[in-house]
Structure 1
Amino acid sequence: MAIDAGERSRVPPHAARRPRLPDALAGTVLTAGVGYRLLLLLTDTPPTNSDEATMGLAALHIAQGREFPVWFYGQAYMGTLEAYLAAPLIALTGPSTLALRLPTLALYAVFALLAWRLTLRLTGDRWYALLVTALLAFGSDRIVKNQLIAGGGYPEMNAAGVALAVLAYDLAAGRPGHRLPRWIGWGFLAGLMVWVDPLVLPYVIGTGVVLAAFRWRELRGWAGALLGVGALVGSAPLLLDSLATGRSPVSAVLAASGAGQPASWAERLPGALVLGPALGMGFCSPGACAGWQLWWSAALPVLVVAATVAAWRRLRVHRRPPVPAPGGGRTVADATAAALSLALVAAAV
C-alpha cells in the first residue's frame, strides 16, 4: 500500500524508503477478510431472508428493464442502490443470491481498505492501523450478516461513512491534488446516502462540520458549488421521486428513523443503550441477551468517554493556524485528525 504525502510527514525520511512490515501484513489481512467472506458466499452463508429476496426482485426487474424502483418495495424509504449494483450481474448470469451479494463483498473490501487509510490519517501509527484492519477482517454472525446480506442500507453505510471521513480529512488538512474532485465526491456520497439510508446522517453531519470549520473560505467559492452539485446528483432519486409524488423528502428520513413507531422513550432507551450495542455487535443470540452478555453495553460508554477526552486533548494541543497553508502541514493535519476523531465519536453517540 502506497504512502501518501500526509502520512510521509509523520515518518522519518530513512524509514519511508524501506518496505514496511505493517503494510504487507495489512494487505494480507485484508485479502484474508475478503477471501473469508467469499468462501461464506460460495457456501450460501449467511442464509438469505425476505428483505434480501425483495432487493433481489428489484434487481431482477431492473435487469429486465421492467421497473426502476427508487425505494425498497413496500415502503417509501431506503434506496435500492444494492439492486442497481447487482442488476448487471443478474442480467449476465441470471438471478442468484451470489450475484446479488458480490457487490456487497466489493463494498466490504472498499470499507476495509479505507478504514486502514483513515486510521493512518488519524493516528499515523501503522501497527495500530494493522490492528484495526485485523479486527475488521473477521466478525461475529451479526456483523457479517450486515456486511453481506443485500437487504438494504447496511453494506453501503460502512463504505460510504469511512469514505466521507477520508475525504473530509484530505480536504480539511489541505492535502494537495484532486481538490475539486474530492469536493464533488464528498457531496455526491453525502447526497447518495441520504437517499439510500438516512441512518448515516450523523456521519454526514459530523464530517461536514469538520469541513466547514477548517475550509469555510474554500467552501464560499467553487468548492462549495461543486459540493452542492455533487449532493444534488447523489440525492437525485429521492428529489425526483419527491417532485413526482409530492411527498416531502423529510418524510423518508423520518420513516427510516422509526419516529412514527408507537414505542415510548422508556422502551426505546433501554433497547438502544442496553440491548442494542450487544445485539448489534453479535455478542448475543439473534433474539435475546443473557445478563452476562451485556458487558459490551457497559464497556462502550467508557470507550466513548475515553475517545472523547483523547480527541479533545489532542485538539487543544494542536490548534490550527488562523490561515492554514494551502498544502497543509503537520500542525494542521494533527488538528484535523483530532477534530475528525471528535466528530466521529459524536456521530457514534
Structure 2
Amino acid sequence: MRRHALFVGLLVLIAAARFAILLTSQTHVHSDEAIIGLMAKHILEGRHFPFYMYGQPYNAGAAWEAYLAAVAFAFFGVSVISLKSCIVVLSLVCLFLFYRMCLALYERRAAVLATVVFAIIPSLLKWHFQVRGYSWYFLSIPVLTLLFLSIESTPNRRWPLFLLFGIVSAFSVWSLELGITFNIALWILLLLRRNLSLKNALVAVGGLLLGYTPAIAFNLTHHFANWNVVREKTGGGLALFFRLEALSQIFLIEMPKFFGP
C-alpha cells in the first residue's frame, strides 16, 4: 500500500476535484442525459427495462448507465446529481484501472505521470461527467489491455483468462460499437501468437460468443436492427471525409476540443 501512496493521494485529490466540479457546474443535463435519466426513472418504477437507449437500437452502455442510475435514485432520490455521480464514480474506477494498466507496462513513476495526464487532459474532461453511455467504453480499454497482458505473461496460459478476455471483449462491443476497432486489434495480436493453442483460441472465441449472446438474440428478434444501424453508420467509407460538412465538423468543432474544455 505504501508503494502506491502517491497514487492513492492523487486519486483522493482528483475525486474531490471532480465532485466539486459536479456540484458547482454540472447540475444541468442535455438531451441524451435527460433520456438516460428518464430510463433510470422508468427502471426504478418498474415501468420499462431497456436493452438499448430509448429510440435507437445501439449503445447498450446508455441502458447500463440507466440501470446504475436507478440504484442511485433509489438511495439518494431522482436528481441530476444522483445521475451524474454514477459517471464520476465510474471515471474514478477507470482512473484506477488505467493506473494498473500503466504499471503493467511501465515503472511506477511513469504510471503516475500517465495517470495525471489522463485525469486532467481537457479533451477528455467532459466525459468524466456526461451520461451518454461512453463510460463502459472507457472502462473496457484498460480491462481488455490488462487481460491481454496477463495472457502474454502467464507461462501456462490458463484457459479461464482466454474465456474472460472473450466475454469482456463481447461486452465492450455490445456496450458501444465504437469499441469494435480496438477489439479487432487485440484479437489479431492474440490470434497471431505462435504459441497459442487451438484449445485456448476456441475458448476465447467461445467467451466472445457467450458474452455477445444477448445482442445476438436481440438482433434475431428485432429484424437485425442493431447490426443494420452499425453497418449504415460505418458504411460511408473514406468518402465521408471529403464532404464539406464533415471537414467543417472535424476542423472547426472537434479538433479545437483538444485545446480546451
TM-score, normalised with respect to structure 2: 0.84
> Equivalent residue for 1:232?
209
* Between 24-33 and 49-58, the greater mean CA deviation after superposition: 24-33
**TM-fit CA distance, 1:236:** 3.4
1:250 paired residue among 215, 227, 232: 227
**TM-fit CA distance, 1:249:** 4.4
**TM-fit CA distance, 1:106:** 2.5
Identity of aligned residues (%): 28
Query: SS at 1:131's partner residue?
Result: helix
Q: Point out where structure 1 has 5 or more consecutive residues left out of the alignment.
A: 2-18, 286-349
1:89 paired residue among 54, 72, 91: 72
TM-score, normalised with respect to structure 1: 0.65
What are the equivalent positions in structure 2 for 1:198-209 lying under 5 Å apart?
A: 198-209=177-188
Query: SS at 1:235's partner residue?
Result: helix
- Matches of 2:221 and 2:169, distance apart in 1: 22
Task: Indicate yes or no: 2:167 matched with 1:185.
Answer: no
Task: Indicate yes or no: 2:195 matched with 1:212.
Answer: no
2:20 paired residue among 30, 39, 44: 39
Indicate the structure with greater helix content.
2
* Between 124-133 and 235-244, the greater mean CA deviation after superposition: 235-244
> Equivalent residue for 1:134?
116
Q: Point out where structure 2 has 5 or more consecutive residues left out of the alignment.
A: none
> Equivalent residue for 1:159?
139
2:107 paired residue among 125, 129, 135: 125
Write out per-residue CA displacement over residues 178-205 of structure 1, whole angstroms, 9 at most, x where no aligned residue.
x444323322221112222111112111
**TM-fit CA distance, 1:213:** 2.5
- Matches of 1:216 and 1:252, distance apart in 2: 38
> Equivalent residue for 1:111?
94
* Between 131-140 and 270-279, the greater mean CA deviation after superposition: 270-279
What is the one-letter code of the residue matched to 1:109?
L
Which protein is bigger by CA-based radius of gyration? Answer: 1
* Number of residue-to-residue matches in the alignment: 258
Query: SS at 2:26's partner residue?
Result: coil
- Matches of 1:258 and 1:32, distance apart in 2: 44
**TM-fit CA distance, 1:35:** 2.1
**TM-fit CA distance, 1:264:** 5.6
Name the CA shift for 1:40/1:226 in 2 (closer, same or farther; >3 Å): farther
1:112, 1:133 within 8 Å by CA — same for their partners in 2?
yes
2:27, 2:80 within 8 Å by CA — same for their partners in 1?
no
2:72, 2:86 within 8 Å by CA — same for their partners in 1?
no
1:120, 1:126 within 8 Å by CA — same for their partners in 2?
yes
> Equivalent residue for 2:8?
27
Name the CA shift for 1:207/1:280 in 2 (closer, same or farther; >3 Å): farther
> Equivalent residue for 1:292?
none
**TM-fit CA distance, 1:81:** 1.6
Write out per-residue CA displacement over residues 129-156 of structure 1, whole angstroms, 9 at most, x where no aligned residue.
111111123242x52221221122x222
**What is the CA RMSD across the aligned residues, in angstroms?**
2.9
> Equivalent residue for 1:54?
35
> Equivalent residue for 1:99?
82
